Amino acid sequence: MIDSEKNSPDVLFVYPKLADAFLRDTAKALAALEAIYEKRDSLDEKDIRMYIINVHGMKSILVNVGEEELSNFASKLEQAGHNKNIELMLSETPLFLNALRDVIKKIRLNEDDNDTAVDEDKVYLREKLLIIKDACEEYNKKPAKDAMTELRKKSWSRSTKELLSIISEHLLHSDFDEAVSAAENILETMED
């Protein structure tokens, strides 16, 4: 069981490109999962297969937007589908769908707040960028991703978010040299 309000900010910071992909993919998955749930009294193999595909997709993208707990919940639902545990699927799907809707609201609130002035914590930003740079130089993705997760918890200007988005995309694809270069570029502009 998840608690979508527990330790969850009212606004979820997600890089603009990732937010667009998340909103697009989640809308499709929500529609598919709602349709499957509506057929709950007559699910067939095709419905179960589509259910598994959609919760699997959500599991992956939820991690990318920092919603690890909800991703784990999606994993539980995916496993229920593989095990053909219809009872668990049907009892937990409404909660999952509501939690997805909450994440969508948080991301949209973030998009609405993008134009407000932000007093950036440059010392914190520099500290995390150095961690990312060092981790990527050692081809060690976990500390870099952890630092990006911490950066998502703070408010940043649109331009900083866009620069961080570039690093995040490089990390997503394990393009370590490019991530180092992007981090160095941001650090250089901070010195000016």
- Average pLDDT per consecutive 10 residues, the chain (192 residues; last block may be shorter): 48 67 87 92 94 94 87 96 96 96 82 59 92 94 92 80 83 89 84 64
- Structural domain tally of the chain? 2
Give the separation between CA 136 and CA 131, rounded to whole angstroms: 8
pLDDT for residue 7: 43
Give the separation between CA 164 and CA 13, rounded to whole angstroms: 11
Q: Based on the fold, state whether residues 85 and 61 are members of the same structural domain.
A: yes
Q: Based on the fold, state whether residues 104 and 126 are members of the same structural domain.
A: no
CA angle 123, 9, 119 (to 5 degrees): 30
Estimate the share of the chain in helix, then strand, then coil, as percent rounded to the nearest 5: 75, 0, 25
* Phi, psi (degrees; rounded to nearest 5) at 85: -85, 75
Q: Based on the fold, state whether residues 186 and 159 are members of the same structural domain.
A: yes
Pair 26, 100: CB distance under 8 Å = yes
Q: Per the domain annotation, does 3 fall within a domain?
A: no
pLDDT for residue 163: 81
Q: Per the domain annotation, does 175 fall within a domain?
A: yes
Q: Based on the fold, state whether residues 30 and 89 are members of the same structural domain.
A: yes
Residue-range definition of the domain harbouring residue 28? 16-113
pLDDT for residue 65: 83
Residue finishing a domain among 113, 144, 166: 113
Pair 81, 51: CB distance under 8 Å = yes
pLDDT for residue 192: 57
Pair 28, 174: CB distance under 8 Å = no
- Reading the block at residue 176, the tokens are 């370590």
Q: What is the reported pTM?
A: 0.57
pLDDT for residue 43: 92
Q: Per the domain annotation, does 88 fall within a domain?
A: yes
Q: Based on the fold, state whether residues 167 and 100 are members of the same structural domain.
A: no
* Phi, psi (degrees; rounded to nearest 5) at 156: -135, 155
